[in-house]
Amino acid sequence: MDIDANKYVDLALDFGPKVIGVLVALFVAWLFAGWAGRLVRRGLEARSFDPTLTRFFANLIRWLILLAAVLGCLGVFGIQTASFAAILAAAGFAVGLAFQGTLGNFSAGIMLLAFRPFKVGDFVEVSGSSGVCEHIDLFTCEFRTGDNRKLIVPNGQVFGSTITNYAGYETRRVDIDVGADYSAGVDATRAALEKAAASIPGMLQDPAPQIVLKGLGDSSVDWQVRIWCKTPDYWGVWQATVRATKLALDEAGIGIPFPQQDVHLDDAVLQALSK
């Protein structure tokens, strides 16, 4: 018992200071990594660097410092970096299987930063959700929805799905569908819609507005008003176009019908109901 107790005392005296020193070193490295990341971010922001790459490089510097600190601390316990690399190589297959989702998200994050299908501040639709991109990190993307919710999507889902970037071009087209009564003349309806499309605040004259006769629906003659505008003005122009279209049709006395259905009953059914 005395021999075992002495052994534990010797181990504590031998490794205790090392463990305490390693914990202190890791804590200092954590603080230094955070300071270095903030320093890199502020430096790049002061030079008006790209916000997406600014956050990426700041995080990269932070994690590299932490990795170097961990590898340095392993040497305190006699674990050489070459041995550590050999251990990683031997366990690489198992680690790859365990973290295949994480590694896939990391790879997708690199691809997003390399090909840049969208950037911070763009309004995009990915994986069935839409919002303004706030951050593109190594593993996830963060979006802010229209009702101010935070949406965090793994990079693998973002890069592996269809991406709709509504801010990808300088201009967008506003499409407003509208139905007119069958009793209204086609030329009169077109004239009313052209009048509405000629006075939309924020619209562009080139390309010119278009009034398209789309087809003959079940309850209405279907039209579409197409207005071009600057991308940042889209929602304002959309609202103004809807308003102008309704006012123009009201002024021309053209109704916007609702879906309706005619029901016909034969004589046998009427006689059965009357009994």
List pLDDT tens digits, range 224-255.
999 999 999 999 999 999 999 999 999 999 88
Q: Which pLDDT value is given to residue 86?
A: 59
pLDDT band at residue 148, thresholds of 50, 70 and 90? Answer: very high
Q: Which pLDDT value is given to residue 197?
A: 92
- Burial class for 223, CB neighbours closer than 10 Å (0-12, 13-18, 19+): buried
Tokens of 160: 């592996």
Q: Which pLDDT value is given to residue 165?
A: 92
What is the pLDDT of the chain when averaged over all its residues?
81
Query: Is residue 211 pLDDT above 60, yes or no?
Result: yes
pTM of the model: 0.60
CA-based nearest residue to 177, from 256, 259, 260: 256
List pLDDT tens digits, range 98-118.
556 677 788 888 888 888 899
* Whole-angstrom distance, CA of residue 105 vs CA of residue 126: 15
CA-based nearest residue to 256, from 187, 160, 182: 182
Domains of the chain: 2-98 (1.10.287.1260), 117-165 (2.30.30.60), 171-251 (3.30.70.100)
Q: What is the mean pLDDT of residues 83-111?
A: 64
Of 2-16, 71-85, 164-178, minimum mean pLDDT range: 2-16
List pLDDT tens digits, range 150-191.
999 988 888 888 899 999 899 999 999 999 988 888 999 999
List pLDDT tens digits, range 27-45.
888 888 888 888 888 888 8
Q: Which pLDDT value is given to residue 91?
A: 56
* Whole-angstrom distance, CA of residue 133 vs CA of residue 202: 25
Residue positions counted in the chain: 275
Give whole-number Cα distances, 155 to 80, 99, 105, 141, 146, in Å. 34, 14, 5, 6, 21
Q: Which pLDDT value is given to residue 1?
A: 46
